[in-house]
Homo-oligomer: A and B are copies of this chain.
Amino acid sequence: MAENWSFLDTSKPNFRPLVVIELAKGTKEETITWFTKRIVDKKGNGGAQLLVKPLLTEKGDENIYLVGASHLRLLLGAEAVGLVKECNDNSMRTFTYSSRKTFKDFADDNHNFLTMAECQYIIKHELENLRAKDETEIPGYPQAKLYPGKSIVRRLLTSGILVQIFPLHDREELKKLRHSWYGRVKVGYQPLDEIRCYFGETIALYFGFLEYFTFALVPMAVIGIPYYVFAWEDYDKYVMFATFNLLWSTVILEVWKRICAIMTYRWGTLLMKRQFEEPRPGFHGVLGINPVTGREEPVYSSIRRQIRIYLVSLPFVCLCLYFSLYVMMIYFDLEQWALDYHEENESNFSNLMLYVPSIIYAVVIEIMNRIYRYAAEFLTSWENHRLESSYQNHLVLKVLVFNFLNCFASLFYIAFVLFDMKLLRQSLATLLITSQILNQFAESLLPYWLQKRHKKRMKKRMCSVKTDMDMSLAEQVTLEKEMGAYFGTFDDYLELFLQFGYVSLFSCVYPLAAVFAVLNNITEIYSDALKMCRVYKRPFAEPTANIGVWQLAFETMSVISVVTNCMLIGMSPQVNALFPDSKMDLVLTVALVEHLLLAIKFIMAFVIPDKPRDIQIKLAKLEFESLEALKQQVRATGVYNSEK
């Protein structure tokens, strides 16, 4: 085995630092020696065959290492992670080293064939796949147990020896990206391909979705404006608006799938094969035999997990939901009090006071959402899921249910218990606008300001105020390692999801919501871009082919909004006036219209293909080729599956 890797030279010609490893202060020397040896060691000896260099800082008391790799090593790594690249004939194919010449822009001396983000992703993958062989513990730390096959980096992380691993920014590239992204005032699309090259597919896809969603809301906003301007209150106009909204939201979600397929095909992630999932870092249990892999690894009984989920997490979530409803009732008391106050002493002040309970409630909702978020993360982590995907699903489910209720319960209550459409409109507006302002502030501007202050202080400490460009590597690393970590797109999608709820759930009552959403999203694009480029550490690229569970979440919301809008219209006095003497006709008509709309939605979702025709043909072509290749192999050797 080792022979095939022997041509990789571990000496360091033009070493380019890609990833930073920070070890805890005071890590034992033997541990550092062992760990760095494993990183540079040959594949045959169980190493990662990467390059490592300690970072020499001015103070020199920090254990920071820079990791890089030779060009050849990265190409072999690209094959190992199953990267998909464009070929000379414009088709997308899985990269293999042996077929490297057939790929577009490939040349042995072209070090830009792989983007920096791809290189960093490959290094992260190789580091995470450094596995213990016969070690039973990390040298120097007898309490940090290892077993054959355990990922060394994950154990180092969980035992606190490894503080963090993060990819370095490329200051020049970043400057270019910033300029084309938000550096100049322009009307146009975001440079999604460049974002993808720099930050990876997951983040580019989020910005793509944000941009698409904003454009998709424009028709709703445009149609919504005259309702506000001319104060249309006619029932038939609202019905028209609601119907348009409901069908439109189905169309935009279906079309997004197609656009997403086009983008991810171009990026290669649509074709990437799913890798076998390893246990997540936090997973623990007693050593046993994994029934799937047959390897020794921690095993945790699924029954105990089920007990934790159904006997602890579920009741806790229900309790939180109850608490949220309780807070909501307090809000209504406050609202009533403000109304009474306004009636008693009518003045400009008391008029303003009418909005105070809503604003307070909006702030409280935001705070509760954030606290609950931590609780949900703690609980889901305690449930001890083996796979990251299962952890994510349970977390998303918990958070979505709570946030949905927390944000929309009061609106449901006003609409379907109090039947107060005026209050509904007012609450909706206050909640939407307050939450948008809070979000923009808490998410981007506050961290940006903190980061700026911190940077200044750092620079002062370094006793020299330089521009960004001529900072030394040591300074850059010191600066970046203190930056906050970006925790993924979860919160950003959640924000969009709730916004979609505000826009669509009660769209027949408050058509102006779409206008606010569009305005918010335009600034959101810029503040999120700022956040990515200026505030946070560079995140590792994560290849992905779609927005995952969020597609389902948005679709569910659009189904729920059919129900709420139909009920709102069914309860409106105008509709009730149409059926003066027959309850039954009313029930039947409303139900019929609702189910008709739902049926149309499902038929539309079914009829609109998820992938455009040309992508479908390209995918079918690849599948056909691989089946043909398999057949050829069988014909040539009589075997396509080696002896087991």
Give Cα distance in the complex from A586 to B588, angstroms. 11
A97 near B638 with CB under 8 A, answer yes
B617 near A591 with CB under 8 A, answer no
Q: Is A90 an interface residue (CB 8 A)?
A: no
Give Cα distance in the complex from A94 to B447, angstroms. 56
Give chain B residues whose Cβ lies under 8 Å from the Cβ of A642: 99, 629
Give Cα distance in the complex from A293 to B628, angstroms. 10
Q: Which of A97, A419, A584, A637 has the most chain B CB atoms closer than 10 A to its own CB?
A: A584
Give the interface segment out of A132-140, A367-375, A563-571: A563-571
B43, B291, B293, B571: which contacts A587 (Cβ < 8 A)?
Answer: B571
A292 near B621 with CB under 8 A, answer yes
A96 near B620 with CB under 8 A, answer no
- From DSSP, what is the main secondary structure of chain A's interface residues? helix
Q: Is A460 an interface residue (CB 8 A)?
A: no
Mark out the residues of chain A between 584 and 611 whose CB falls within 8 Å of any chain B CB in the assembled complex: 584, 586-588, 590-591, 594-595
Mark out the residues of chain A between 454 and 497 whose CB falls within 8 Å of any chain B CB in the assembled complex: none
Give chain B residues whose Cβ lies under 8 Å from the Cβ of A419: 584
A97 near B639 with CB under 8 A, answer yes
Given contacts A595-B563, A644-B99, contact A638 B4 (CB under 8 A): yes
Q: Is A231 an interface residue (CB 8 A)?
A: no
Mark out the residues of chain A between 601 and 644 whose CB falls within 8 Å of any chain B CB in the assembled complex: 613, 617, 620-621, 623-625, 627, 629, 634-644
B583 near A576 with CB under 8 A, answer yes
Closest-by-CB residue of B relative to A595 is B563
Q: Is A416 an interface residue (CB 8 A)?
A: yes
Q: How many residues of A contact B (CB 8 A)?
A: 57
Closest-by-CB residue of B relative to A89 is B644
Give Cα distance in the complex from A635 to B102, angstroms. 21
Give chain B residues whose Cβ lies under 8 Å from the Cβ of A635: 1, 4, 43
B102 near A276 with CB under 8 A, answer no
Rounded to whole Å, the gap between the CB of A520 and the closest CB of chain B is: 30
Q: Residues 90-130 of chain A: 1 if any B CB is under 8 Å from the residue's CB, otherwise 0?
A: 00011011110010000000000000000000000000000
Q: Is A79 an interface residue (CB 8 A)?
A: yes
Give Cα distance in the complex from A277 to B594, angstroms. 40
Mark out the residues of chain A between 328 and 383 whose CB falls within 8 Å of any chain B CB in the assembled complex: none
Q: Residues 243-264 of chain A: 1 if any B CB is under 8 Å from the residue's CB, otherwise 0?
A: 0000000000000000000000
**Sample of 15 more A-B contacts, CB < 8 Å, known A43-B635, A293-B624:** A76-B638, A97-B638, A97-B639, A99-B643, A275-B627, A276-B624, A291-B621, A292-B617, A292-B620, A563-B591, A570-B587, A579-B583, A583-B586, A586-B587, A591-B591
